[in-house]
Amino acid sequence: MTKTRPFLIAISTAALVFLTTNAGVAHGAERGSVKATINGAHITIDYGRPVLRGRDMLAQLKPGQVWRIGADSPTTLESDKDLDFGGTVVPKGKHILLAKLVEPGKWALVFSSKSVFQYEASAKIAEVPLTFEEANDSDEMVTLKLTDQGGSGVLEIAWGKMRLTASFKPA
pLDDT digits (tens, 9 = 90+) for 21-55: 444 344 568 999 999 999 999 999 999 999 988 88
Q: Is residue 41 part of a domain?
A: yes
Domain-embedded: residue 5: no
Domain that includes residue 143, residue range = 28-170
CA distance 68 to 110: 10
Contact yes or no for 130/166 (Cβ under 8 A) = yes
Q: State the Cα–Cα distance between residues 34 and 170, nearest whole angstrom.
A: 17
pLDDT tens by residue, 105-144: 999 999 999 999 999 999 999 999 999 999 999 899 999 9
9 — pLDDT class (breaks 50, 70, 90):
low
The backbone torsions φ and ψ at residue 14, rounded to the nearest 5 degrees and listed phi first, read: -60, -40
Q: How many domains does the chain have?
A: 1
The verdict on residue 142 lying in a domain is yes
What is the pTM assigned to this prediction? Answer: 0.81
28 compared with 18, residue with greater pLDDT: 28
Is 68 part of any domain? yes
**Would 67 be classed as within a structural domain?**
yes
pLDDT digits (tens, 9 = 90+) for 70-109: 999 999 999 999 999 999 999 999 999 999 999 999 999 9
Residue 41 exposure: Cα atoms within 13 Å on the Cβ side: 28
* 106 found inside a domain: yes
Q: Are 33 and 44 in contact (CB under 8 A)?
A: yes
Chain center to CA of 128:
15
Q: Is residue 14 part of a domain?
A: no
C-alpha–C-alpha distance, residues 158 and 11, integer Å: 42
Q: Tell me, what's the pLDDT at 80?
A: 98
